Amino acid sequence: MNRYCPNCGKLLEENSPLRCLNCNIDIPTYIRINLENLKKEKDYLAIYKEKIDAEVTKKIKSNISRYIGVLAFICIGGLFLIYVSNQNITSHIVTQQLTEELKDSGIRQVINNAAKTKTEQI
């Protein structure tokens, strides 16, 4: 009668029918563990499935948090660039308007008189 290993399915040798030389397991121990797991309504596939599901969930969560972090960094950087460019544009517009207003000789004369008055007072 040919006996096969319950773990790897290889043919067991006649001189060691209780130990598989291919996968190196003790067959009575392997059968006992599997029976205990079946009694607990867990087989090896369910145990591995739980481990794989936990690992996949962990990796997905870490990837999602990484992508959210990158997206937040890009958004904050974009908002900062918009702020800086708007500040430059606003200061340029204000400077242009003040320059145009100061071109009027009446305003320039008032500013010069005020400066002269303050200088004399000091």
Other Cβ atoms closer than 10 A to 19: 17
Residues 6+ apart with CB under 8 A from 43: 34, 37
Q: What is the pLDDT of residues 34-84, one digit of tens each?
A: 777 666 666 667 778 888 999 999 999 999 999 999 999 999 999 999 999
| pTM of this prediction exceeds 0.75 | no
Cα 9 from Cα 22, distance rounded (Å): 9
What is the average per-residue pLDDT within 6-14?
A: 77
* 40 phi, psi to nearest 5 deg: -85, 5
Q: What is the pLDDT of residues 23-33, one digit of tens each?
A: 878 877 777 77
**Percentage of the chain modeled with pLDDT above 90:** 25
pLDDT, position 38? 67
Q: In Å, how far from its chain's centre is CA 110? A: 62
Check whether 16 has a pLDDT greater than 90: no
What is the average per-residue pLDDT within 90-117?
A: 78
pLDDT, position 5? 77
